[in-house]
Amino acid sequence: MRALDLSGISEADIRACKEIATEAGVDLKDCYQCGKCTAGCPLAEGMDLMPREVIRFLQLGALDVVLDAKTPWICAQCAVCSSRCPQNVDICSTMRAVRIAAKRAGKRPVPEADIFDDEFIANVRAHGVSNEQYLAAMYNLKSGHFTQDMGNATRMLKRRMVGVAIHNTKGRAEVAALIDRALGADEGGE
């Protein structure tokens, strides 16, 4: 674990960390730092903080360390960590709650992940399902990675894995309403 100067941590930081945990339904006192979550995480290698460390820094009230971490944005929400935890700490939900808190604070340590999420949600909101070809195009445009995965596009088109037609579901208005409700809740609207 990286060295940390605890003198910079304020009461407000400690409160904010507790609020993040509460939003995730987690009692930070439950974690005894056994590391089983980290040992099972398929993406730990690419993370700047291990899942166990995210919980530890929250316990310490090190708000900025947690909000500036790339880990919650790299997290695939697979929930392996939560299922392995002997204390039933929901690390997976904690990652999500950290991400929401970071976004509220105007931080997005992995902008590509944020762009992809926003485009995916906009795509599903508009059509009721994800239209991958347009999702990929919008992501490439907005992220500036203009040619990312373009090598696969021709092959996928040939094999009809993707096409140019836009698919809409019958219940897309309901899907849009559900998304609006969830986004309202994320922004503290519910």
* Residue choice 9, 24, 28, 52 for contact with ligand SF4 (CB under 6 A): 52
The mark string for 61-90 relative to ligand SF4 (x by CB under 6 A, - otherwise) is: --------------xxxxxxx--xx-x-x-
- What is the C-alpha separation between 81 and 40, in angstroms, rounded? 6
**Residue 97 is a binding residue for ligand SF4 (CB under 6 A):** no
**CA distances in angstroms from 5 to 32, 52, 78, listed in the order given:** 21, 19, 32
CB 52 within 8 A of CB 101: no
Residue 42 or 163: the one with the smaller Cβ distance to ligand SF4 is 42
Tokens read off for 50: 């291990």
Tokens read off for 176: 């849009």
Could you tell me the smallest distance in angstroms from the CB atom of residue 70 to ligand SF4?
12
DSSP-assigned letter for residue 105: T
* Residue choice 20, 28, 55, 115 for contact with ligand SF4 (CB under 6 A): 55
**Residue 1 is a binding residue for ligand SF4 (CB under 6 A):** no
**Residue 28 is a binding residue for ligand SF4 (CB under 6 A):** no
- What is the C-alpha separation between 103 and 11, in angstroms, rounded? 21
Q: How far is CA 187 from the centre of its chain?
A: 15
What residues line the site for ligand SF4 (CB under 6 A)?
A: 31-37, 40-41, 43, 51-52, 55, 75-81, 84-85, 87, 89, 91-92, 95
